[in-house]
């Protein structure tokens, strides 16, 4: 059953609740602490995570290449942890927009950062959850006993993007190599090329299966769930305000000081964090569904450049090397939905799945870190999680999972403000969750994200004992 038609029956109920989901309070379970470790499984730990500052595309990183930022993240991780470069067994990076010259950017970054050529490295892509996939790939290798330690990371670089010749031109360029003379090449050109052949192919910004841009999907999702412009602007302002506060208080400790190669400039801050006012937020025009859409540049994540990396080990290996891990990486789930009507609802589907696997409930979670693609996407997910009707008709569940209390949700800002280099965000979410657990004296954290193609991911993280 299509989501839009189904939600039409209860959007009035959701709209009447308005932003009440943002202030919903769930009583925290103060009983004896639970454990979610597996009796016969390896404990896998997050030792440390770092990232370059996330910058708006076209700014200080504009003249770099993706592997420069990935290398910077690896070098920063080595400096932060003092990990010997021959003590890493494997390296995996996630990315979305691939630079064709460095298609396996994990390998090129590792070599550039001085890791041994004997250390295997591969690159994965899963849209906005690409570094989530890199993390779980490394976890899987540790769980299977293939390795004891690995680095997972992510990179995306929107200051540059691969722009191709048209297919017609590409066919001509391939076949003309077989021509033996100038006259033969000219003959091929006259037969194969039209004026249309000279038009470049720009990178797709739309879903391949639906031909709809993600912002358009977000606007439709907000209309379906009754999420208004004011609520979206309020959430966008919240993200920027909290990120600015966290920056000024030194809480974003995963961020490195990054020296831009070739320029010598040291970048120390994320440059997309811009706390403003509701008046300015509300003055922006619709970005996708014009003129009456509610998704704008102010309540959406922006095109970003940045890289991230984290050190993951078996607990036994980490302790043997003298490390004090930040957190256990406990369990995770990947989900997928209809990419037309449910493109951005990954967190709503992943959250109950992860909790049920671990035997936990929402009240057991102390820290929530969800990817903010759009303010409306976050609010729509919260509305879905707060609806018995949605749970029953769309998820095959008896009851709703409930919503996170906002005093536990993205308290240091999120992708709307910090930035969203597609492939790098998953590591940021995991590292921030681990850092918040320590700062806030919590036990469990849940991270979740949506991704293009109707994909989603959720992961349970547990604070390492003091």
Would you say how long the chain is, in residues?
466
State the catalytic residue, choosing from 21, 128, 222, 310: 128
| Residue 222: active-site member | no
Annotated active-site residue in 92, 222, 310, 450 = 450
Q: SS3 sequence, the chain? A: CCHHHHHCCCHHHHHHHHHHHHHCCCCCCCCCCCCCCCCCCCCEEEEEEEECCCEECCCCCCCCCHHHHHHHHHHHHHHHHCCCCCCCCEEEEECCCCCHHHCCHHHHHHHHCCCCCCCCEEEECECECHHHHHHHHHHHHHHCCCCCEEEEEEEEECCCCCCECCHHHHHHHHHHHHCCCHHHHHHHHHHHCCHHHHCCECCCCECCCCCCEHHHHHHHHHHHHCCCHHHHHHHHHHHHHHHHHHHHCCCCCCECCEECCCCCCEECCCCCCCCCCHHHHHCCCCCCCCCCCCCCCCCECCCEEEEEEEEEEEHHHHHHCCCCCCEEEEEEEEEECCCCCCCCCHHHHHHHHHHHHHCCCHHHCCEEEECCCEHHHHHHHHHHHCCHHHHHHHCCCCCCCCCCCHHHECECECHHHHCCCHHHHHHHHHHHHHHHHHHHCCCEEEEEEEECCCEEEEEEEEECCC
Q: Which residue has the tokens 């899963």?
A: 126
Tell me if residue 128 is catalytic: yes
Which one, of 69, 67, 149, 74, lies nearest residue 114 by Cα?
A: 74
HSE-up (13 A, CA, CB side) for residue 432: 32
Burial (CB count within 10 angstroms: exposed 0-12, middle 13-18, buried 19+), residue 329: buried
The catalytic residue positions are 128, 450
């Amino acid at each position: 059953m299509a989501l839009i038609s189904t939600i039409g029956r209860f959007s009035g109920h959701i709209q009447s609740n308005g932003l009440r989901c943002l202030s919903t309070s769930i009583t925290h379970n103060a009983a004896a602490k639970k454990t979610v470790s597996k009796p016969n499984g390896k404990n896998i730990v997050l030792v440390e995570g770092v990232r370059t500052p996330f910058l708006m595309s076209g700014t200080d990183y504009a003249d770099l290449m993706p592997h420069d930022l990935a290398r910077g993240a690896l070098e920063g991780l080595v400096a932060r942890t003092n990990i010997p470069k021959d003590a890493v067994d494997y390296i995996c990076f996630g990315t979305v927009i691939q630079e064709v010259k460095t298609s396996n950017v994990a390998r090129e970054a590792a070599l550039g950062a001085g890791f041994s050529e004997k250390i295997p490295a591969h690159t994965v892509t899963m849209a906005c959850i690409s570094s989530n996939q890199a993390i779980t790939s490394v976890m899987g290798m540790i769980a299977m006993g293939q390795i004891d330690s690995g680095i997972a990371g992510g990179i995306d670089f929107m200051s540059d993007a691969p722009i191709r010749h048209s297919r017609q031109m590409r066919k001509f360029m391939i076949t003309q190599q077989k021509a033996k003379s100038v006259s033969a090449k000219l003959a091929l050109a006259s037969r194969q090329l039209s004026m249309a052949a000279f038009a470049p192919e720009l990178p797709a910004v739309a879903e391949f299966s639906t031909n709809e841009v993600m912002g358009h999907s977000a606007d439709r999702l907000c209309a379906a769930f009754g999420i208004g412009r004011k609520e979206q602007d309020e959430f966008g302002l919240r993200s920027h305000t909290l990120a600015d506060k966290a920056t000024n208080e030194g809480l974003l400790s995963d961020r490195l000081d990054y020296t831009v190669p070739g320029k010598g400039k040291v970048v120390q801050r994320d440059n997309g964090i811009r706390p403003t006012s509701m008046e300015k937020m509300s003055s922006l025009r619709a970005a996708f569904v014009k003129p009456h859409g509610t998704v704008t540049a102010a309540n959406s994540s922006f095109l970003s450049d940045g890289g991230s990396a984290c050190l993951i080990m078996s607990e036994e290996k980490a302790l043997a090397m003298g490390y004090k891990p930040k957190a256990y990486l406990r369990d995770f789930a990947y989900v997928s939905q209809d990419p037309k009507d449910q493109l951005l609802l990954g967190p709503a589907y992943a959250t109950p799945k992860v909790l049920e696997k671990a035997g936990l409930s929402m009240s057991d979670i102390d820290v929530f870190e969800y990817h903010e693609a759009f303010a409306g996407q976050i609010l729509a997910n919260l509305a879905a999680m707060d609806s018995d009707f949605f749970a029953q008709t769309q998820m095959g569940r008896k009851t709703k999972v409930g919503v996170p209390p906002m005093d536990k949700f993205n308290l240091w800002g999120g992708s709307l403000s910090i930035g969203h280099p597609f492939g790098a965000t998953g590591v940021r979410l995991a590292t921030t969750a681990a850092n918040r657990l320590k700062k806030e004296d919590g036990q469990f954290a849940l991270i979740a994200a949506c991704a293009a193609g109707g994909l989603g991911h959720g992961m349970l993280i547990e604070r390492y004992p003091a």
